[in-house]
Protein backbone atom coordinates (compact mmCIF):
# COMPACT_ATOMS: atom_id res chain seq x y z
CA UNK A 1 0.00 0.00 0.00
CA UNK A 2 1.49 3.36 -1.05
CA UNK A 3 2.18 5.92 1.67
CA UNK A 4 0.91 9.48 1.65
CA UNK A 5 3.33 11.60 -0.40
CA UNK A 6 5.33 14.38 1.21
CA UNK A 7 3.35 16.70 -1.05
CA UNK A 8 0.90 16.03 -3.91
CA UNK A 9 2.74 14.84 -7.02
CA UNK A 10 -0.16 14.97 -9.48
CA UNK A 11 0.57 18.56 -10.44
CA UNK A 12 4.11 17.79 -11.60
CA UNK A 13 4.70 16.84 -15.22
CA UNK A 14 7.74 14.67 -14.61
CA UNK A 15 8.22 13.80 -18.27
CA UNK A 16 8.41 17.49 -19.14
CA UNK A 17 10.73 18.20 -16.20
CA UNK A 18 13.14 15.44 -17.20
CA UNK A 19 13.13 16.66 -20.79
CA UNK A 20 13.90 20.22 -19.71
CA UNK A 21 16.73 19.00 -17.50
CA UNK A 22 18.20 16.87 -20.29
CA UNK A 23 18.32 19.91 -22.56
CA UNK A 24 19.76 22.14 -19.84
CA UNK A 25 22.70 19.87 -18.94
CA UNK A 26 23.80 19.24 -22.54
CA UNK A 27 26.38 22.01 -22.16
CA UNK A 28 27.90 20.38 -19.07
CA UNK A 29 29.33 17.31 -20.77
CA UNK A 30 33.10 17.38 -21.02
CA UNK A 31 33.57 19.16 -17.69
CA UNK A 32 34.26 15.96 -15.77
CA UNK A 33 36.37 12.85 -16.30
CA UNK A 34 35.39 9.18 -16.48
CA UNK A 35 36.97 7.05 -13.71
CA UNK A 36 40.24 5.72 -15.05
CA UNK A 37 41.75 3.79 -12.12
CA UNK A 38 39.49 0.83 -12.96
CA UNK A 39 40.20 0.00 -16.63
CA UNK A 40 36.79 -1.57 -17.20
CA UNK A 41 35.12 1.73 -16.27
CA UNK A 42 37.43 3.83 -18.39
CA UNK A 43 35.92 2.41 -21.59
CA UNK A 44 32.38 3.65 -20.83
CA UNK A 45 31.16 6.44 -23.13
CA UNK A 46 31.26 9.80 -21.31
CA UNK A 47 28.17 10.99 -23.19
CA UNK A 48 25.71 8.67 -21.49
CA UNK A 49 22.82 10.17 -19.54
CA UNK A 50 20.02 8.22 -17.93
CA UNK A 51 17.39 9.38 -15.43
CA UNK A 52 14.65 7.34 -13.76
CA UNK A 53 12.05 8.38 -11.20
CA UNK A 54 9.84 6.00 -9.19
CA UNK A 55 7.06 7.49 -7.07
CA UNK A 56 5.33 6.08 -4.00
CA UNK A 57 2.02 6.09 -5.87
CA UNK A 58 3.40 3.53 -8.34
CA UNK A 59 4.34 5.71 -11.31
CA UNK A 60 7.64 5.68 -13.19
CA UNK A 61 9.33 8.15 -15.50
CA UNK A 62 12.43 7.67 -17.65
CA UNK A 63 14.80 9.75 -19.73
CA UNK A 64 17.68 8.83 -22.03
CA UNK A 65 19.76 5.78 -21.13
CA UNK A 66 17.63 4.88 -18.12
CA UNK A 67 17.42 1.19 -19.02
CA UNK A 68 21.13 0.63 -19.73
CA UNK A 69 22.97 -1.27 -16.95
CA UNK A 70 26.12 0.28 -15.52
CA UNK A 71 28.52 -0.49 -12.68
CA UNK A 72 26.86 0.84 -9.54
CA UNK A 73 30.09 0.83 -7.51
CA UNK A 74 29.63 2.54 -4.10
CA UNK A 75 25.86 2.78 -4.47
CA UNK A 76 25.96 -0.88 -3.43
CA UNK A 77 27.11 0.24 0.04
CA UNK A 78 23.57 1.32 0.85
CA UNK A 79 22.25 -2.18 0.19
CA UNK A 80 24.96 -3.85 2.27
CA UNK A 81 24.31 -1.38 5.11
CA UNK A 82 20.62 -2.32 5.08
CA UNK A 83 21.58 -5.99 5.46
CA UNK A 84 24.24 -5.38 8.12
CA UNK A 85 21.82 -3.35 10.25
CA UNK A 86 19.37 -6.25 10.00
CA UNK A 87 22.04 -8.62 11.31
CA UNK A 88 23.65 -6.44 13.97
CA UNK A 89 21.30 -3.56 14.70
CA UNK A 90 22.85 -0.74 16.70
CA UNK A 91 25.82 -2.97 17.51
CA UNK A 92 27.21 -2.25 14.05
CA UNK A 93 28.06 1.30 15.14
CA UNK A 94 30.67 -0.02 17.57
CA UNK A 95 32.73 -0.96 14.51
CA UNK A 96 32.03 1.99 12.21
CA UNK A 97 31.03 5.60 12.80
CA UNK A 98 28.31 7.81 11.34
CA UNK A 99 30.18 11.05 10.71
CA UNK A 100 31.30 12.66 7.42
CA UNK A 101 34.93 11.85 6.73
CA UNK A 102 36.20 15.13 5.28
CA UNK A 103 38.80 13.00 3.49
CA UNK A 104 38.90 11.04 0.21
CA UNK A 105 36.80 7.87 0.26
CA UNK A 106 39.89 5.63 0.00
CA UNK A 107 42.06 7.44 2.56
CA UNK A 108 44.20 5.49 5.03
CA UNK A 109 45.28 8.50 7.07
CA UNK A 110 42.11 8.95 9.11
CA UNK A 111 41.77 5.21 9.66
CA UNK A 112 45.20 5.03 11.24
CA UNK A 113 44.60 8.08 13.41
CA UNK A 114 41.30 6.64 14.71
CA UNK A 115 42.60 3.16 15.52
CA UNK A 116 40.92 1.18 12.78
CA UNK A 117 37.38 2.52 13.27
CA UNK A 118 36.16 3.95 9.93
CA UNK A 119 34.41 7.29 10.07
CA UNK A 120 31.26 6.06 8.25
CA UNK A 121 29.96 3.03 6.32
CA UNK A 122 30.15 4.69 2.89
CA UNK A 123 33.88 5.34 2.68
CA UNK A 124 35.80 2.26 1.52
CA UNK A 125 37.09 1.32 4.98
CA UNK A 126 33.60 1.47 6.48
CA UNK A 127 32.11 -0.47 3.59
CA UNK A 128 34.69 -3.23 4.10
CA UNK A 129 33.63 -3.53 7.75
CA UNK A 130 29.99 -3.72 6.64
CA UNK A 131 30.88 -6.37 4.05
CA UNK A 132 32.67 -8.34 6.78
CA UNK A 133 29.45 -8.20 8.80
CA UNK A 134 27.52 -9.81 5.94
CA UNK A 135 30.05 -12.64 5.67
CA UNK A 136 30.09 -13.13 9.44
CA UNK A 137 26.34 -13.73 9.55
CA UNK A 138 25.72 -15.41 6.20
CA UNK A 139 27.86 -18.08 4.50
CA UNK A 140 25.98 -17.38 1.24
CA UNK A 141 26.37 -13.61 1.50
CA UNK A 142 27.33 -13.03 -2.13
CA UNK A 143 24.38 -14.94 -3.57
CA UNK A 144 21.94 -13.45 -1.07
CA UNK A 145 23.18 -9.94 -1.76
CA UNK A 146 22.56 -10.47 -5.48
CA UNK A 147 19.09 -11.85 -4.72
CA UNK A 148 18.32 -8.77 -2.59
CA UNK A 149 19.23 -6.47 -5.48
CA UNK A 150 17.04 -8.52 -7.80
CA UNK A 151 14.13 -8.48 -5.35
CA UNK A 152 14.26 -4.76 -4.64
CA UNK A 153 14.60 -3.84 -8.32
CA UNK A 154 12.04 -6.37 -9.53
CA UNK A 155 14.59 -7.48 -12.14
CA UNK A 156 15.78 -11.09 -12.04
CA UNK A 157 18.41 -10.32 -14.71
CA UNK A 158 20.49 -8.07 -12.44
CA UNK A 159 23.97 -9.58 -12.25
CA UNK A 160 27.59 -9.01 -11.30
CA UNK A 161 29.78 -7.68 -14.10
CA UNK A 162 32.59 -10.24 -13.89
CA UNK A 163 34.97 -8.13 -15.98
CA UNK A 164 34.57 -5.16 -13.63
CA UNK A 165 35.01 -7.43 -10.59
CA UNK A 166 38.27 -8.80 -12.03
CA UNK A 167 39.41 -5.29 -12.84
CA UNK A 168 38.62 -4.19 -9.29
CA UNK A 169 40.57 -7.14 -7.89
CA UNK A 170 43.59 -6.64 -10.15
CA UNK A 171 43.84 -2.92 -9.38
CA UNK A 172 42.41 -2.79 -5.86
CA UNK A 173 45.72 -2.50 -4.02
CA UNK A 174 44.61 0.39 -1.80
CA UNK A 175 41.44 -1.46 -0.79
CA UNK A 176 43.56 -4.50 0.03
CA UNK A 177 45.80 -2.30 2.18
CA UNK A 178 42.76 -0.87 3.98
CA UNK A 179 41.37 -4.37 4.60
CA UNK A 180 44.65 -5.62 6.06
CA UNK A 181 44.89 -2.51 8.24
CA UNK A 182 41.37 -3.15 9.55
CA UNK A 183 42.30 -6.77 10.21
CA UNK A 184 45.37 -5.69 12.16
CA UNK A 185 43.09 -3.66 14.45
CA UNK A 186 40.69 -6.58 14.94
CA UNK A 187 37.91 -4.91 12.97
CA UNK A 188 37.52 -7.69 10.40
CA UNK A 189 36.31 -11.09 11.55
CA UNK A 190 36.56 -12.94 8.25
CA UNK A 191 39.45 -13.74 5.94
CA UNK A 192 40.69 -10.61 4.17
CA UNK A 193 40.53 -12.23 0.74
CA UNK A 194 36.90 -13.29 1.28
CA UNK A 195 35.94 -9.78 2.36
CA UNK A 196 37.67 -8.25 -0.66
CA UNK A 197 36.04 -10.74 -3.04
CA UNK A 198 32.53 -9.87 -1.87
CA UNK A 199 33.36 -6.15 -1.80
CA UNK A 200 34.67 -6.17 -5.37
CA UNK A 201 31.62 -8.10 -6.57
CA UNK A 202 29.08 -5.86 -4.85
CA UNK A 203 30.74 -2.80 -6.43
CA UNK A 204 30.65 -4.57 -9.81
CA UNK A 205 26.90 -5.07 -9.67
CA UNK A 206 25.37 -3.94 -12.97
CA UNK A 207 22.01 -2.17 -12.71
CA UNK A 208 20.17 0.48 -14.69
CA UNK A 209 18.74 3.77 -13.47
CA UNK A 210 15.30 2.19 -13.54
CA UNK A 211 16.54 -0.80 -11.51
CA UNK A 212 18.04 1.50 -8.90
CA UNK A 213 15.11 3.90 -8.64
CA UNK A 214 12.91 0.87 -7.98
CA UNK A 215 15.38 -0.68 -5.54
CA UNK A 216 15.61 2.52 -3.47
CA UNK A 217 11.89 3.23 -3.45
CA UNK A 218 11.37 1.45 -0.08
CA UNK A 219 13.65 4.09 1.46
CA UNK A 220 11.18 6.71 0.22
CA UNK A 221 8.16 4.67 1.25
CA UNK A 222 8.87 3.78 4.90
CA UNK A 223 10.25 0.38 3.92
CA UNK A 224 7.31 -0.70 1.80
CA UNK A 225 8.36 -2.57 -1.35
CA UNK A 226 5.91 -2.22 -4.22
CA UNK A 227 7.41 -5.08 -6.25
CA UNK A 228 7.87 -7.81 -3.63
CA UNK A 229 4.96 -6.61 -1.48
CA UNK A 230 5.10 -5.84 2.23
CA UNK A 231 7.77 -4.11 4.29
CA UNK A 232 11.19 -5.51 3.43
CA UNK A 233 12.93 -2.85 5.51
CA UNK A 234 11.65 -1.76 8.91
CA UNK A 235 11.01 1.95 9.47
CA UNK A 236 13.84 2.28 11.98
CA UNK A 237 16.42 1.13 9.42
CA UNK A 238 14.88 3.38 6.76
CA UNK A 239 15.40 6.39 9.03
CA UNK A 240 18.97 5.38 9.86
CA UNK A 241 20.03 4.67 6.29
CA UNK A 242 18.51 7.86 4.88
CA UNK A 243 20.21 9.92 7.59
CA UNK A 244 23.63 8.44 6.82
CA UNK A 245 23.08 8.98 3.09
CA UNK A 246 22.31 12.66 3.70
CA UNK A 247 25.43 13.22 5.81
CA UNK A 248 27.91 10.79 4.23
CA UNK A 249 26.57 9.60 0.87
CA UNK A 250 28.64 11.66 -1.58
CA UNK A 251 32.14 11.30 -0.15
CA UNK A 252 33.73 14.48 1.23
CA UNK A 253 31.43 16.76 -0.75
CA UNK A 254 28.31 16.29 1.37
CA UNK A 255 27.96 19.89 2.55
CA UNK A 256 28.00 21.48 -0.88
CA UNK A 257 25.87 18.66 -2.29
CA UNK A 258 23.21 19.08 0.42
CA UNK A 259 23.23 22.82 -0.23
CA UNK A 260 22.71 22.35 -3.97
CA UNK A 261 20.46 19.27 -4.06
CA UNK A 262 18.84 18.89 -0.65
CA UNK A 263 18.00 15.18 -0.53
CA UNK A 264 19.71 12.02 0.81
CA UNK A 265 21.83 10.53 -1.99
CA UNK A 266 24.47 7.90 -2.61
CA UNK A 267 26.93 8.15 -5.47
CA UNK A 268 29.38 5.77 -7.13
CA UNK A 269 32.42 6.26 -9.35
CA UNK A 270 30.57 4.47 -12.14
CA UNK A 271 28.72 7.78 -12.56
CA UNK A 272 25.46 6.87 -10.82
CA UNK A 273 23.72 8.82 -8.06
CA UNK A 274 20.54 7.63 -6.33
CA UNK A 275 18.41 10.03 -4.30
CA UNK A 276 15.44 9.63 -1.97
CA UNK A 277 12.66 12.07 -1.10
CA UNK A 278 10.74 10.50 1.81
CA UNK A 279 7.04 9.83 1.17
CA UNK A 280 7.43 10.98 -2.41
CA UNK A 281 9.90 9.28 -4.73
CA UNK A 282 13.30 7.86 -5.51
CA UNK A 283 15.44 9.06 -8.41
CA UNK A 284 18.53 7.71 -10.11
CA UNK A 285 20.74 9.54 -12.59
CA UNK A 286 23.71 8.10 -14.49
CA UNK A 287 26.36 10.13 -16.26
CA UNK A 288 29.91 8.70 -16.16
CA UNK A 289 32.00 11.89 -16.05
CA UNK A 290 33.07 12.63 -12.47
CA UNK A 291 34.01 15.80 -10.63
CA UNK A 292 37.21 16.11 -8.60
CA UNK A 293 35.61 14.45 -5.55
CA UNK A 294 34.28 11.42 -7.45
CA UNK A 295 30.62 12.31 -7.97
CA UNK A 296 28.95 12.50 -11.37
CA UNK A 297 29.39 16.06 -12.65
CA UNK A 298 26.30 16.09 -14.85
CA UNK A 299 24.38 13.87 -12.42
CA UNK A 300 24.81 16.38 -9.61
CA UNK A 301 23.55 19.13 -11.87
CA UNK A 302 20.57 16.99 -12.91
CA UNK A 303 19.55 16.45 -9.28
CA UNK A 304 20.01 20.13 -8.46
CA UNK A 305 17.70 21.10 -11.32
CA UNK A 306 15.22 18.36 -10.43
CA UNK A 307 14.72 19.49 -6.83
CA UNK A 308 14.58 23.13 -7.94
CA UNK A 309 12.01 22.59 -10.69
CA UNK A 310 9.76 20.25 -8.66
CA UNK A 311 10.23 22.07 -5.33
CA UNK A 312 10.79 18.66 -3.74
CA UNK A 313 13.50 18.22 -1.11
CA UNK A 314 13.80 17.28 2.56
CA UNK A 315 14.10 20.93 3.59
Q: Is 139 a catalytic residue?
A: no
Q: Which of 53, 238, 254, 269 is catalytic?
A: 269
CATH superfamily, region 14-310: DD-peptidase/beta-lactamase superfamily (3.40.710.10)
- Is the model's pLDDT at 7 over the cut of 80? no
Q: Which of 61, 63, 105, 251 is catalytic?
A: 251
Q: Which residues contact 23 (CB under 8 A, 6 or more apart)?
A: none
The per-residue pLDDT for 4 is 47
The per-residue pLDDT for 158 is 98
The per-residue pLDDT for 1 is 46
pLDDT digits (tens, 9 = 90+) for 113-129: 889 999 999 999 999 99
The per-residue pLDDT for 117 is 96
**At 11, is the pLDDT very low, low, confident or very high (cuts 50, 70, 90)?**
confident
Q: Is 239 a catalytic residue?
A: no
**Rounded to the nearest 5°, which phi and psi values hold at 243?**
-65, -45
**At 106, is the pLDDT very low, low, confident or very high (cuts 50, 70, 90)?**
confident
- Is the model's pLDDT at 103 over the cut of 70? yes
Q: Put the strands of the sheet holding 265-267 in their side by side order.
A: 60-64, 50-55, 281-286, 272-277, 265-267
pLDDT digits (tens, 9 = 90+) for 147-189: 999 999 999 999 999 999 999 999 889 999 999 999 999 999 9
The per-residue pLDDT for 10 is 79
- Is the model's pLDDT at 277 over the cut of 70? yes
Task: Return the closest-CA partner of residue 179 out of 188, 169, 171.
Answer: 188
The per-residue pLDDT for 230 is 67
The region of weakest confidence among 5-9, 21-25, 56-60, 72-76 is 5-9
Map out the domains of the chain as residue ranges: 14-310
Say how far apart CA 66 and CA 212 lie, in whole Å: 10
Q: Is 267 a catalytic residue?
A: no
Share of the chain above pLDDT 90, in %: 82
Q: Is 269 a catalytic residue?
A: yes
Say how far apart CA 269 and CA 74 lie, in whole Å: 7
Q: Which of 101, 199, 244, 285 is catalytic?
A: 199
Query: Mean pLDDT of all residues in the chain?
Result: 93
Task: Return the closest-CA partner of residue 162 out of 197, 194, 133.
Answer: 197
The region of weakest confidence among 96-110, 127-141, 300-314 is 96-110
The per-residue pLDDT for 8 is 67
Q: Which of 54, 71, 74, 287 is catalytic?
A: 74
Q: Is 45 a catalytic residue?
A: no
pLDDT digits (tens, 9 = 90+) for 213-261: 999 999 999 998 766 666 778 999 999 999 999 999 998 889 999 999 9
Amino acid sequence: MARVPLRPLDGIDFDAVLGEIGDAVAKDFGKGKVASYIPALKRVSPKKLGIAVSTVDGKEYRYGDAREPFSIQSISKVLTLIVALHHEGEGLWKRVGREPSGNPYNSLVQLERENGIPRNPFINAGALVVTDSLLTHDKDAKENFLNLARTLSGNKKVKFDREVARSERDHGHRNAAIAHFLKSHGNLNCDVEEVLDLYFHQCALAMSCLDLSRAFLPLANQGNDMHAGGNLIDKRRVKRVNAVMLTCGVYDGVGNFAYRVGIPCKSGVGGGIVGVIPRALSICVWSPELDAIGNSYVGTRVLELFTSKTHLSVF
